[in-house]
Amino acid sequence: MMVQVTTTTRPRPVCILGLGLIGGSLLRDLAAAGREVFGYHRSPSTARSARKEGFEVDSNLKETLARAEETGALIVLAVPMPAVEGLLDAIAHETSTCGITDVVSVKTPVMDLVYDKGLEDRYVGGHPMAGTAQSGWKASQRGLFRGAAWVITFDHGYHPEARSVDELAEADQATLGEPGRAALSPTGRPEVSSRWLDVWSQVAQLADSVGAEAIPARVHVHDAMVARVSHLPHLLAAALAVVGDNGGALAFSLAAGSFRDGTRVAASSPQLVRAMLERNARALVGPVDEAIEILTDARERLSATPPDLEALADAGYRSRVRFDARSGRVQGSVSPVEVSSRPVLRLRPGAPGWIRTLVQAEGLGARIEVY
């Protein structure tokens, strides 16, 4: 059955599991936006700290989930990947109706678990592209997501019949070049449930509530993109830090802005970085190969007589200028109104052709406005 979900959908309460940098910042922003929000953190002392600031945070998971079920809350998994499976089991056991989303930076392993637990009809993946080098509740802050991309997955809506990540991949292969086929033929193919459409709308609303921009992307597409623009930067920063260090004390004494910026993310927790990169290993190999190829070519051109780096210097400059033009907020605007430089597509979840619009937005890196 196709349902029409409009912006008049009553916002559900939000239940955040895990109050680190992302979960904690989300809690702060949602509360400030007047949304009903409560949370769980396994450490009683962190839960106490949050309560002292006036937030409804418990360290009892079962009670927290009972409240989520009673109030029809949207559950947000905001824990590191190793904790996701245990929480999904608890959610499956303690709740039967709540929508589920997450903020994990690699989406395939989460989707894998979601299928394992048979929760795909209640799950829509999320990933806010925001962070700092710090982590934990103490690093959480207001406004972290303002203007940031918040990826929202839609794989189950595109291929409702898939029952595993492998089946998803097969189905994607089968509809290659026919974006939105599944949703375009309402007869003859399984349709997505109104429950899942409602979860999708709630997650879009969640991103909007904290000033983020909802960018639709399928799980494997998301993972391929963040490998390029988030995980490769971490690898290059680590490599640069080590090569600089190889130069000894004088090298670090002379290092200035270019080295500082190029190694900034190497200051992040190495455990978190490692876990993120290893979980996206399959998608990361290709971009790493591209980087090695570019550097190997540059190395040859540096050894030539005369050395010639014109092509790489120009290409790097053009790409960076395109990035400035395409990403995030418009710089230097005189208007006090924040203007996004991302294109926008408007849609109504469940309306005919809406999945085609999502696929189109994915290709454009466009943000979605739900009407």
Site for a copy of itself in 248-287 (CB under 8 A): 248-271, 273-274, 277-278, 281, 284-285, 287
Site for a copy of itself in 201-230 (CB under 8 A): 215, 217, 221-222, 224-226, 228-230
Can residue 313 be called a binding residue for a copy of itself (CB under 8 A)?
A: yes
Can residue 351 be called a binding residue for a copy of itself (CB under 8 A)?
A: no
Angle CA 302–308–309, to nearest 5: 85
Can residue 4 be called a binding residue for a copy of itself (CB under 8 A)?
A: no
Burial of 219 (0-12, 13-18, 19+ CB in 10 A): buried
Residue 262 phi/psi, 5° resolution? Answer: -65, -20
Q: Which residues of 54-87 are buried (b: 16+ CB within 10 A; e: fewer)?
A: ebbbbbebeebbebbbeeebbbbbbbebeebeeb
Judged by CB, which is closer to a copy of itself: 61, or 312?
312
> Residue 346 pairs with which residues in a beta bridge?
369
Cβ neighbours of residue 194 under 8 Å, at least 6 residues apart?
1, 3, 350
Can residue 338 be called a binding residue for a copy of itself (CB under 8 A)?
A: no
Q: How far is the CB of 125 from a copy of itself (least distance, A)?
A: 14
Judged by CB, which is closer to a copy of itself: 64, or 105?
105
Judged by CB, which is closer to a copy of itself: 97, or 296?
296
Binding mask 316-335 for a copy of itself (x = CB under 8 A): xxxxxxxxx-xxx-------
Burial of 166 (0-12, 13-18, 19+ CB in 10 A): exposed
Judged by CB, which is closer to a copy of itself: 5, or 129?
129
SS3 135: coil
Neighbour tally for 21: CB within 10 Å: 23
The answer to whether the CB of 64 falls within 8 A of the CB of 40 is yes
Can residue 233 be called a binding residue for a copy of itself (CB under 8 A)?
A: yes
Q: How far is the CB of 344 from a copy of itself (least distance, A)?
A: 11
Can residue 46 be called a binding residue for a copy of itself (CB under 8 A)?
A: no
Site for a copy of itself in 142-161 (CB under 8 A): 148-149, 151
Dihedral sign for Cα 284, 289, 290, 296, please: positive
- CA neighbor of 115 nearest in space, from 81, 155, 82, 68: 155
Can residue 344 be called a binding residue for a copy of itself (CB under 8 A)?
A: no
Judged by CB, which is closer to a copy of itself: 257, or 336?
257
Can residue 236 be called a binding residue for a copy of itself (CB under 8 A)?
A: yes
Q: How far is the CB of 13 from a copy of itself (least distance, A)?
A: 28
Q: How far is the CB of 172 from a copy of itself (least distance, A)?
A: 15
Residue count at the site for a copy of itself (CB under 8 A)? 105
- CA neighbor of 153 nearest in space, from 165, 145, 143: 165
Can residue 33 be called a binding residue for a copy of itself (CB under 8 A)?
A: no
The answer to whether the CB of 132 falls within 8 A of the CB of 269 is no
Judged by CB, which is closer to a copy of itself: 37, or 81?
81
